[in-house]
Amino acid sequence: MDYEQLPRAALIKLLQEHDAALADAGKNGIIMSYTGRAAPWQIIRQVKPKLSRIVKKFSVGDEEAQSENEIWEGENLSAMVTLYKLRGQVDLVLTDPPYNTGEDFRYNDKWDKDPNDPDLGELVPKDDGSRHSKWLKFMTPRIWMIREMLKPGGVCAICIDHRELYRLGMLMDEIFGENNRIGIINWQKSYSPKSDTGGLKGGLSSATEYVLVYAKNVDRAKTGMTGRTEEMNSRYRSADSDPDDWKSGDASGPNAATHRRMVYGIQSPFNGEIYYPPEGRCWANEKGSMKQWLEAWGHEYQEKWLNDANEFLEKGKLIHVKGLVLKGTQVKSGKLITSRAILKAARTAALNRMAEGTWPPLYFGQKGETGPQLKRYLKHVKKGKVPMTYWAHEDYETPLELDSQSWDHEESGHSQAGVNELSLVVGKGHNFKTVKPLRLFKKIVQIWCRPDGVVLDPFAGSGTTGHAILELNEETDADRRFILIEQGNTEKGDRYARSLTADRIKRVITGEWASGKRVPVHGGFRFIELRREQVDAAAVNALAREEMIDLLLTSYWNKAEKAKSYLCRLPVGAHRHLFAVNPANEGFFLIWDAPDAESVLNREAFKRIVTEAQDAKLASRYHVYAAIAPYTGPGIEFYQIPDRVLEHIGFNPRSDAYNNQEAVNA
């Protein structure tokens, strides 16, 4: 960077940022140094916001649904700079960056001089002596931008494995501050041991991976959801004289395909019937707990192969999943046989236990005539205790405290589950070998993002973050929004953002899974392509009408409206000027037919705008984009093209917001 050419105001700001960075380093005690290191704010100041366009072919839902979420195709540092509207507005950044394994991470040497270069670069091999410094040079400005995107109380949860854990931790300490570290989650990614660490001959098995969780300001961050209402608490009441209020809950959980050992028959102690989880679901708790709760009804249980085709192959071995039945029950000639004496004794004991009150956690309805149900206690929800392996809706609304926390696979899922989940949605052949499980991401989102918050994933990959949010919104009646950014492509050049990320999210929304039809979920998204052209006045003035509308839709952000600050696009050609409506039912109008056409807000244009607003039954406040405005009528909010458009996307040449020297010197 040529400091001598910088304006005085920009030099002062650089010195202030430098002093602040040194102060933070001194406060934290350690500052990282590596080959080619540059201050992240120096790199980011060189990155220019880019033009973008909405690709309708890959967008999903009606215009209102599309405005809820965004999938960006493009280099993520440029995309985050372009997403100026989101700076300081994101509740949670949840992301899984490329690991430095010699197979996943790419680095473009041109970034050392020009971080605007859009190419991904070459794979960094394991024997590259500078692989760690390249990874840090890649991650440092992106971690800085992630912090910039967060609200004052926002949280970043970033996944990593053992290869770069220590370096990423030091980098996060440096940029976020060690005092803002919320915790380190150690989650079980696999069951089977494999010697893949500890030297050439192998050593310890890397059965776990990590999620580093940092707050932008730990004093303002909240771990957990907002408090419960009396209406929520009123749903809990004891039906069995239990002194603690409870409500009925589902004894099953999702993802039977990845939890085959938790799908089996359970025999009721009341009527001897065998009950299975619903199709596609599994029992929510480990078999040991289920057996203990069943025996609490007064009769012993045993595991028994029920000859019910409940079997699967695991590493070439046929696994028979045994059911839980009353002790003494036999299977003869493929049929389950329980003697009348056993059934009578079990029923008598169960009815006596029911009459005593305070039933076991697993019960069979008010009279013992239904399938298994779970008691979910209000005291556990209020105190934040999570007693079950599977978290129900209410369980997610509770505050938790973390430091260094271990989550086993029952709580977080495992890597193979993530791959299987992806295959179920998009089909096999996606070539993704490591995919984070939905359960892990859903749990993180529930803990650190409010129900109407915004989640950003700058390394979207296969779209697990978006999938998790859509399912959570459906399950918990929440309204979270997501912004996903993905640039990667296959060896054939197919772009993941459209061929995998958007395809997965589309299938989740429509229910058109590769494995079969599923229930659709509410949602939609705009698919936005980040273009190579940098934003400046000339670029904006050269846009055609539809391109201009795309830019306005993707850049609009009214902080006064918070999470509801989006524009709903109207059908093309329906109006001459009206192109979108905001949640307050106010119209947005564009006087712009082509780059070389007149763009003037005069009395005649205003009359047309009023007529269009009245026909559409809109509020009498008019947001108008035009090049000049010799006329200003009542209720007009005028936005001058190109200046106000540039401001909306964070480009302000007068304040040198992105060190645009050409604009400043002009």
pLDDT, residue 130, reads 78
Mean pLDDT of 161-185: 90
CB 628 within 8 A of CB 665: no
Mean pLDDT of 43-59: 89
The string of pLDDT tens digits covering residues 254-266 is: 878 888 899 999 9
Mean pLDDT of 67-96: 92
The string of pLDDT tens digits covering residues 365-424 is: 999 999 999 998 887 765 443 322 222 333 333 333 444 445 455 455 555 666 777 778
How far apart are alpha carbons 344 and 342 in whole angstroms? 5
CB 66 within 8 A of CB 632: no
Strand-pairing partners, residue 501, are none
When pLDDT is cut at 50, 70 and 90, the band that residue 656 belongs to is: very low
When pLDDT is cut at 50, 70 and 90, the band that residue 561 belongs to is: low
Per DSSP, helices labelled H in 270-360 are 287-295, 340-356
pLDDT over 50 at 53, yes or no: yes
How far apart are alpha carbons 282 and 253 in whole angstroms? 5
pLDDT, residue 363, reads 96
Q: Is the pTM of this model over 0.85?
A: no
With CA atoms as reference, report the closest residue to 526 among 50, 63, 49, 52: 63
Mean pLDDT of 432-456: 86
The string of pLDDT tens digits covering residues 563-617 is: 456 789 998 888 999 999 998 899 999 999 999 999 999 999 999 999 999 999 9
Mean pLDDT of 350-376: 93
The residues, ordered by sequence, that sit 6+ positions from 314 with a Cβ below 8 Å of its Cβ are none
CB-CB neighbours of 574 under 10 Å: 10
Q: How far is residue 131 from each of residues 52, 109, 127, measured CA to CA in Å? A: 32, 12, 8
CATH architecture of 32-224+399-531: 3-Layer(aba) Sandwich (3.40)
CB 523 within 8 A of CB 467: no
CB-CB neighbours of 31 under 10 Å: 14
Average pLDDT, the chain: 82
Could you tell me the residue ranges of all domains in the chain? Answer: 32-224+399-531, 230-383, 537-665
